[in-house]
Structure 1
Amino acid sequence: MSSAAEIEQPTTVPRGAPLGPGSLLWEYFGDHRLKLFFGRSGTLQNMHPAVSAALQQHSNFFDDPWDRLLRSVPRIEDSIYDPPESAAAVRVRDYHRDIKGVDHHGQRYHALNPDIFWWTHVTFVEAVMAMNEYFGTPLTGDQKQQLWAEGVTWWERYGLSAQPVFGTYEEFQAYWEHMLADELEANETTDFALRAAGIPIPPVPGVPTWAWTVIRRPFMEFNVWLVAAMMPERGREILGIDWNRLDEFGFRVFAGTVRRAWPLLPRPLRYDRRVYRKIRAAEQGLSQGSLARPA
């Protein structure tokens, strides 16, 4: 597998942009619409041979796929919304220190290999952009550049090597196309995810067993369909996903409904509750600070 450095050296020195109130990652990462991308982002990550191997060898993914997701997401959110001195990102990094082994190609891997960690990082930042493409207002060219610069700042909080890092949207496009063309694959974890509707997986935490028995298949079928709907075309080819005109029409109706309805919701309802508390606390702190400064 190629490293990010072997793909193409960045033509510019990556420069970060501030995270906090007013930044795009703050505006969108805790947005409930991003939850629609959990299956897509997770599948794209798992298409990397090393990530798939790590899940198979170091997690209970096949027994309880919700466990990794629901444990990981709040910690990842904290790495963005908590101040850098909180070391939230360092804790996320350190959870991966002992995750290593050999993938099914016979290649050794370590979860903290910067090229591997960078791929998972990129899928999160890219999801923010895709969320706006499908369910909001597409980001402008300047906003895309700002988003990737904020992604650099987020990466710096992990304290990992800057070797794979790029800071421009154009470099992202080249990297993304390379990964889809040459590096990603179908494997045991992606096959499991795409067959999830027919597998008796445990209930989502908080859902009673009796209710899960009723809703499991339609709920999982919808989520697998969403993965297919938002997966890049090349990703569908790799995974062997069939996608037809009726599917495309249905997704356009669904996406249009979300796009029109979302601005009508009160702001607190658009966010994960934990994240909204952090956003409001930071905004109030800025407001109080500005009031305290002499004119």
Structure 2
Amino acid sequence: MFEKHPGWNVSLPLGPNSLTWKHFGDIRSMLILGRAGTLQNMHPVLDAALQQHSNFFTDPMDRFDRSVAPIQAMIYQPDAEARATTVRDFHKPIKGVAPQGNRYHALDPEVFWWTHVTFYESIIATQEFFGTPFTEDEKAQLIAEGLTWWRLYGMSDRPAFGDYESYRAYWTHMWQEVLESNTTTDFAANIHTAKVLAPPFIPSPLWPLIRYPVMAIGVWISNATMPPEARKILGWNWSRADQLAFDLFRRAVRATWTLTPERLRYIPDTWAGMQQYRQHSEQYSDGDSDPEPASAAK
């Protein structure tokens, strides 16, 4: 039932003809990294796991880097299944008892599926806010590609889907039945006031001087791009003045994008993978047989 979707055959690899390849590494996605993390952490199991197993509350950038970089490698480096196995197995020891008394495991397929969905939802959101929004057909294709991506993990298909209608129903269900405001999301909302460690690309002596404004801007962008359902659950306020300021900001991002050289439009590791494919495509699974190529990068 999963194999036939308009514009995408889910048995094909996520090569250069896929929307995932063309957009997952978009550098603009870094603007909503905090948003994506907060959406994931609204799941009560992820909240419990972060509190009990992670350094997120002292070094959030390290946690994001350890999470995002290996997942990007699944898409842009050879041996996608082996890399997916590595990502999956990172989560094997993450289990315990939540404060509510129920046992949890990070490899529960329903929990892992939620985190997976937030990654390709972020691809849609990046283009919605800072690029050229996807058409309905492109969204449908991207959701189908998400099933291809999921199957690399070797996880159960029980929670999975590859059609846009199921995606929308699932999105509504999560807001109504599962997601919550919790310790981790409260921390994210106030991360600019926390004494977190410097990201690796910022000198440690400089960090105390710029930490507050840098992190505060990140929180503001997360709020600006957060789905209204999430704002309601989290109790985040958003004013008309905020919206006007954000509209100016997103226009500036779009204008800057048109002037940016291609190699700077992508996260560095992503660009390196794209170049590696161009030079050594034989190392990759062949995704060029897709009879309906995805649209050009936006």
- Taking structure 2 as the reference length, the TM-score comes to 0.89
Q: CA deviation at 1:142?
A: 1.4
Say what the alpha-carbon RMSD is for the aligned residues: 1.9
User: Which of the numbers 122, 126, 146 marks the counterpart of 2:141?
Assistant: 146
Identity of aligned residues (%): 50
Tell me which amino acid in the other structure corresponds to 1:186: S
Number of the residue aligned with 2:286: none
Moved more, 223-232 or 255-264: 255-264
Structure 2 CA distance, aligned partners of 1:119 and 1:207?
A: 31
Equivalent residue pairs, number: 279
Give the alignment of 1:1-295 within 5 angstroms: 12-13=1-2, 16=10, 17-84=12-79, 87-285=82-280
Give the Cα–Cα distance (whole angstroms) in 2 for the partners of residues 31 and 220 of structure 1.
Answer: 21
Whole-angstrom CA distance in 1 between matches of 2:52 and 2:80: 32
Deviation by residue 1:184-219 (Cα, 9 ceiling, x = unmatched): 001111111111111111111131222111111100
Q: Structure 1-normalised TM-score?
A: 0.90
8 A contact 2:95–2:106 mirrored in 1: yes
1:78 to 1:208, Cα distance in 2 relative to 1, 3 A? same
Task: Out of 221-230 and 100-109, give the one that drifted further.
Answer: 100-109
Structure 1 residues 47, 14: closer, same or farther in 2, change over 3 A? Answer: farther
- How far the C-alpha of 1:281 sits from its partner, in A, is 2.2
Cα separation, 2, equivalents of 1:214 and 1:154: 41
Counterpart AA for 2:259: L
Structure of greater relative contact order (alpha carbons < 8 Å, 6+ residues apart) = 2
CA distance in 2, matches of 1:35, 1:248: 20
CA shift, 1:286, in A, is 5.0
Gaps of 5+ in 2: 5-9, 283-298
User: Which AA in structure 2 matches 1:247?
Assistant: D
- Structure 1, 113-122 or 64-73: larger mean CA deviation: 64-73
The residue identity in structure 2 corresponding to 1:164 is P
- 2:96 is paired with a residue whose SS is strand
Higher mean displacement: 233-242 or 79-88? 79-88
The answer for unaligned runs of 5 or more in structure 1 is 1-11, 288-295
**Distance change (3 Å), C-alpha of 1:38 and 1:14:** farther
- Which structure shows the higher helix fraction? 1
